Amino acid sequence: MKAPLTRSLVWFGVLAAGLLGAPAAAERGTLNDLWNVAFAIVLASAWNLLGGFAGQISLGYSAFVGIGAYTTVLLAMAGWNPWLTLPVAAALAVAFSVIIGLPTFRLRGPYFSIATIGVGEAVRVIASGVEFTGGSSGLRMPSGGFNFISNYYGMAVLALFTVAVVFFIHHDAFGLALDAIRQDIDAAEALGVQSTRYKLLAHAVSAALVGAAGGLFAMNFQYISPGSVFDFRLSLSIVLMPIVGGIATLVGPVLGAVLFSYLQIKLLASPALRDSYLFIYGGLLMAVMLFEPRGMVGLWERLVRLRSRQRPQAAEA
């Protein structure tokens, strides 16, 4: 079901004003947190295009973060302006998405998901083993040229762009094809939908966005290693955010990204809870699966329905 257009525009406007207006009001620490929120929004919303709308649950998205990050660092080491490396990071992520999509999209449901775990892990192992990536000790960006405020705006704009791209696809024939593929892939094909083509396209678009985010990640942290950008736990977080927020909805991944970033910041700040975040994420996931498979969005809709049912009674009393 599509949310009304005006409501989508309103929350998008609030998000844009918040992210772009923050540097005028907030201090560095808060902006750092908001950078994390924006990064999470890109990952969650882009993943939702394939995993949510098209229903292809990929557990290997850290591969795109890593490919983007390594592309940016390696090109910067070769003397490139880091900003100019981002399109290349996106393009290489797209190329990789097609290479792994062609064989894995022949698999359905959980078999596809399991294959993507293998792909993600294989990439991490390769990146740890070969020499040009610096092996398991990773790579450092060339010093100089670091500017947090431009990095912040870069990620904020990418987050808004991602949400806008997903919005337009959702309201286009492409989005309808993805919906059809998720709900019944055989029926979709029986009506002429070229399922593999649209899955590859959704994969490519989301890989481009995640790859660019990986490049921005490298620019902001200045140091990357297989353990940071190719981490399986990163792949898991990318999946959990849209599921907790509301899978296959526009606003769900954004809500999930905000919640997760907030939790992460709180948990990392408290020594007692630092190592328990996977436990808490797992608990959240189970709660969503058991009580509200449509996540925070579903919870919200349930509350709205409850209120509209109570209102006439209140008027009578």
Partner 1 sequence: MAAAPLLEVSGVGKRFGGLVAVAEVSFAVQEGEIFSVIGPNGAGKTTLFSLLVGSQRPTTGSIRFRGEEIAGLRNDQVVARGLVRTHQIVRPFRDMTVKQNVSVGALFGSKQLRGEAAPAKVAEVLERTGLAARARVLAGTLTIGELKRLEIARALATEPTVLCLDEVMGGLNPAEIQGAMALIREIRKSGITVLMIEHHVHAVVGVSDRVMVLNFGRKIAEGRPQEVLRDPAVVSAYLGDEEGAAA
- State the Cα–Cα distance between residues 42 and 57, nearest whole angstrom: 17
Q: How far is the CB of 122 from partner 1 (least distance, A)?
A: 29
With respect to partner 1, which residue has the nearer C-beta, 181 or 218? 181
Closest contact distance (angstroms) between CB of 181 and partner 1 is 10
- Is 183 or 276 the residue whose CB approaches partner 1 more closely? 183
Nearer to partner 1, 42 or 251 (CB): 251
Measured CA distances, 69 to 86, 304, 307, 310 (Å): 9, 42, 46, 51
Please give the Cα distance from 295 to 242 (Å, whole number): 8
For partner 1, the closer of residues 195 and 228 by Cβ is 195
Phi, psi of 78, deg, nearest 5: -85, 5
At closest approach, how far in Å is the CB of 37 from partner 1?
29
Q: Supply the minimum distance, in Å, between the C-beta of residue 180 and partner 1.
A: 5
CA distances from 257 to 33, 37, 41, 145, 262 (A): 12, 6, 5, 29, 8
Shortest distance, position 9 Cβ to partner 1, whole Å:
21
Residue 6 beta carbon to partner 1: minimum distance, rounded to whole angstroms:
18
Q: Which two tokens stand for residue 127?
A: 């990146």
Smallest separation (angstroms) from partner 1 to the CB of 198: 9
Between 5 and 95, whose beta carbon lies closer to partner 1? Answer: 5
- Euclidean distance between the first and the last CA atom of the chain, given in angstroms as a whole number: 34
Question: Distance between CA atoms of 49 and 174, rounded to whole angstroms?
Answer: 11
Residue 266 in tokens:
């709180």
| Residue in 12, 45, 110, 65 with CA at minimum distance from that of residue 241 | 45
Give the DSSP letter string of 60-110.
-THHHHHHHHHHHHHHHHTT--HHHHHHHHHHHHHHHHHHHHHHHTTS-TH
> Which residues make up the interface to partner 1 (CB under 8 A)?
1, 173, 176-177, 179-180, 183-184, 186-195
* Identity of the residue, 33 or 179, whose beta carbon is nearer to partner 1 in the bound complex: 179
Kind and range of the H or E element at 140?
strand 139-140
Least distance between partner 1 and beta carbon 294 (Å): 11
Q: Which is nearer to partner 1, 191 or 314 (CB)?
A: 191
* Tokens found for residue 58: 């990929």
Half-sphere exposure of residue 17, counting CA atoms within 13 Å on the CB side?
Answer: 6
> Between residues 176 and 263, which has the closer beta carbon with respect to partner 1?
176
Which residues, other chains included, contact 190 with Cβ-Cβ below 8 Å and sequence gap of 6+?
none
